[in-house]
Amino acid sequence: MDSITPEVANHVLFHYGRGGCQAGSFTEQIIKSIDMADPANRDKLALGFPDYVAAVAAIQYDPDGVANLTAIATSGEVAA
C-alpha cells in the first residue's frame, strides 16, 4: 500500500464530506477524477498520484476507511 500523508487524508476526507480540509482546485479535480474513474483509468491515475488513489480506495472500499484516514489526518504521521 502506498503511503498516505496527513495532507492527503485531510483532502480526501473533505471531498467525501467527512471532515478534513479542502485541497486546492487542481488537487480537488484529481480527487474527483479518481472518484469517478473505472479500474483501468484509476490504475493510470495511480502512476502519478498513488497516495491519493490509495486514500480514495480506502474510503470507498474499506469499512474502516473513514476511521483510518481520520487517524492519519489527526496523527501527523504517514501511514504505509
- pLDDT the model gives residue 75: 87
Q: For 23-49, how does the pLDDT look when each residue is reduced to its tens digit (9 = 90+)?
A: 999 999 999 999 999 999 999 999 999
- pLDDT the model gives residue 1: 42
Which has the closest alpha carbon to 10: 44, 1, 19? 19
Q: What is the pTM of this model?
A: 0.90
Cα→Cα distances 40→57, 63, 65, Å? 14, 23, 22
Q: Where are the domains of the chain?
A: 6-75
